Amino acid sequence: MANELLDLPLWMTEKPVINKTKKFIQFKGQIKQCIYPNMLASYAEEILNKIESSKIHKVVYGFDMEWPVTYNRKSNKTALIQICIDHSTCYLFHVCALELSFFTCYLLSYNVYHIIKLPSIFVYLINHPRVRWSGVCIKNDFLKLGRDFNVDVSGALSNIIDLATYTNKVLDFDSSTTWSMANLVQRLLKKDVNKDGNVRISSWDNTTLDQNQHMYAATDAFISLILYEHLKKFDKEDELQIN
């Protein structure tokens, strides 16, 4: 973040007031959790129907992904994909789940990872030409998704709104200024993001996510959406030209 404070207006550089109780952003809508491939396909179709019925030429959705954290060089498979379509609905798509089969539990108690083959309709949704995906550094997420499941994500890559780049453009900051999601929320929305370390590095490949995991995952995708909505107010050009 060495360049973050260069040439920023005073309101962007003021030190935040530290309150005893932080005001965390929290998603308050409906969270739809999808565990099995048929559910992924069904909910993908549900979203596609909303796109097709929308009068807006291109819709913007908040996007994020989670996977189990390891402390070696090996990267685990993408476990959860979060898509927030508006302030009232966020989808959590489980695409890599941890299972315990009776046979393996009885013999060796080994964990078995079940990698779901992404339904074609879900891949179509990811690459849909009328969807813009909003988030911080999500280009790398889509590239990982493509590698993990051997699917084409070129359509998604051409429709990304990187919030760090968009912030610099819209607010006329130096293009080298870097941002994290937490920084953007603090600077632009004057709130905080609850990045509880215990939740952040928790077992995202477990389909029985607890309430804290549900809220963490949905809120990240929701923040990706509302940051875009906030920045759009300052965009003097057609926001759909932003890549």
Answer whether residue 190 is part of any domain.
Answer: no
Answer whether residue 127 is part of any domain.
Answer: yes
Answer whether residue 4 is part of any domain.
Answer: no
More confident position, 197 or 89 = 89
- Check: CB of residue 94 under 8 Å from CB of residue 66: no
Q: What angle do CA 240, 4, 197 make, to 5 degrees?
A: 90
**Number of domains observed in the structure of the chain:** 1
Q: What are phi and psi of 142, to 5 degrees?
A: -65, -40
Answer whether residue 202 is part of any domain.
Answer: yes
Domain range enclosing 140:
26-162+197-233
Q: Whole-prediction pTM value? A: 0.82
Which amino acid is located at 45 in the chain? E
- Residue 113's pLDDT band (cuts 50, 70, 90): very low
CATH number at residue 116: 3.30.420.10
Answer whether residue 176 is part of any domain.
Answer: no
The DSSP 8-state label assigned to residue 3 in this structure reads T
Q: What is the pLDDT of residues 53-69, one digit of tens each?
A: 998 899 999 999 999 87
Answer whether residue 224 is part of any domain.
Answer: yes
Q: What is the pLDDT of residues 160-182, one digit of tens each?
A: 999 999 999 999 999 888 999 99
Distance CA 13, CA 195 (A): 22
Q: What pLDDT score does 116 carry?
A: 66
The alpha carbon dihedral of 67, 70, 72, 77 has a sign of negative
* Full DSSP string of 42-100: HHHHHHHHHHHH-SSSSEEEEEEEE----SSSPPPPP-EEEEE-SSSEEEEEE-EEEE-
Answer whether residue 68 is part of any domain.
Answer: yes
Answer whether residue 10 is part of any domain.
Answer: no
